[in-house]
Amino acid sequence: MKCSARRRSSRSARPLARPAANANRHEFSALIIPTLPTLPIHPAQLPMSKNVSRRHFLHTAARVAAVPVAAATLGALPIRAARAAATQPLKKIRVMDVPKRWIGYELLFLADHQGYFAEQGLALELVSLPIDQYTVAIASGVTDFALSADYIYLDNVRAKGLVVKEVVNSAPFIDPAAAGDGLFVRADSPIRAPQDLRGKRIGMRSVTFSSAWFTLDYVGRAGLHQSDLQFLTIPDLQLEQVLQSGAVDAVFAYGPIDAQLREHRGYRQLFQLSDLSGRKIQRGGTMVREDFISQHPDIVRGYVAAIAKAADYANQHQQDVVDLGVRLGRVDPAVAPWMYTKDGKGDYSVLRWPTHGLIDPADVAFWLQVAERQDVVPKGQLKVADLYTNALNPYQTKT
């Protein structure tokens, strides 16, 4: 199925704006920081690492930020947002970016493209960093907002002393009806059930990230533990290669790698995240340090309001969201249908976000239970109320 940018008429919402020849252009800046050594996630260890200090990290970021950078054009800004941008200076919001990142970032780019950030007096700045700098970037203040933060990951860093909260649910639902992340084997593999993974080699992006904990919860159904498995760190782009070659027996694939495995066929998915919950469930969203919330409440409120508006637009215009990803060069049109649909037919009606981006405490509680079950955090150390807030969402009292 071709993922072309087709348009549907709507009286209730305006379709995505396309750039006009003489239209005002909306731009976000891309801050590029040199690759740094991997730093540990425990905040107590952040000030110093073997090769780079936190001071040097921030000094490098400051020097790079001071250098003019090229802006990436996304499209025409809605008139109301353009007027707002012209009459007052925009406050920058810094978000980590990696090449081609899209899954979990859909609402970020939609809010930027639609001018929702500008309406709130904000301007998006992408900070280019390798994925292993995700935690240290938010902990050290190089970035302000950390997107695609699974609740179980937030549980982990919060338990280790990084005082953060989820402020808006910016990720699509985990839905049994939709495609999703999970564990894959070759189609001819004899592995059919969790007990078949005993003694097997499993490749994943990081053995200390959500993928490991999700996998452990799956095999835990068969009474298996981490000591019964062999986890191997494999870069995302090499996961299919090592699986196909037999170097590993299974791989945990996030999007868009999971979509590529479906599209290439020859592989079978053992489980997806909805199998852990057995129902449609929120997985996480945007994580922010509590001290940043206290110091910049208006910025955080503006961000949350923009994402909430983008979520409501996206739930009515799923095709537009996918088309935007293609137009930005972040989604391969051949793979797009497999990113969200199991059969690759591209029925994007299964793609949904939480209404208004509001966080459901029951879902936060579920992932905390998984975290406790897998010894990611000590049982009873964290409370659900400490992990999220809807107080900054303008729709909180309207539902």
Q: What is the pLDDT of residues 345-370, one digit of tens each?
A: 999 999 999 999 999 999 999 999 99
Q: Are residues 118 and 89 part of one domain? A: yes
For 248, the token pair is 């590993």
Q: Is the pTM of this model over 0.95?
A: no
Quick: pLDDT tens for 94-134.
Answer: 999 998 899 999 999 999 999 999 999 999 999 999 988 99
d(CA 318, CA 310): 11
Please report which confidence band the pLDDT of residue 152 belongs to, taking 50, 70 and 90 as the band edges: very high
Average pLDDT over residues 286-302: 98
CB atoms within 10 A of CB 151: 29
Contact between residue 96 and residue 135 where contact means Cβ atoms under 8 Å apart: no
Q: Residue 340: inside a domain, yes or no?
A: yes
pLDDT at 69 over 50: no
117 and 265 in a single domain? The answer is no
* Cα angle, residue 257 at apex, residues 251 and 258 outer, rounded to 5°: 70
The number of beta carbons lying within 10 Å of the beta carbon of residue 1 is 13
Task: Answer with the one of 277, 302, 333 that is the final residue of a domain.
Answer: 277
Q: Is 123 inside any structural domain?
A: yes
Q: Domain for residue 10, yes or no?
A: no
* 3-state secondary structure at position 272: strand
pLDDT band (50, 70, 90) for residue 398: low
Indicate if 30 and 102 belong to the same structural domain: yes
State the total domains in the chain. 2
Q: How far is CA 393 from the centre of its chain?
A: 19
Taking alpha carbons only, the member of 169, 148, 164 closest to residue 101 is 148
Tokens of 38: 């991997």
Q: What's the CATH code of the domain at 252?
A: 3.40.190.10
Among 257, 277, 297, give the residue marking a domain's end. Answer: 277
Q: Is residue 317 within 8 Å of residue 351, measured between CB atoms?
A: no
Question: What is the pLDDT, as a whole number, of residue 195?
Answer: 97
Measured distance CA(194)–CA(225) in Å, rounded = 11
Q: Tell me, yes or no, whether 79 and 147 share the same domain.
A: yes
In DSSP notation, 78-89 reads PHHHHHHHHHSP
Regarding whether 316 and 262 lie in a shared domain, the answer is no
Considering the domain architecture, whether residues 259 and 314 belong to the same structural domain is answered as no
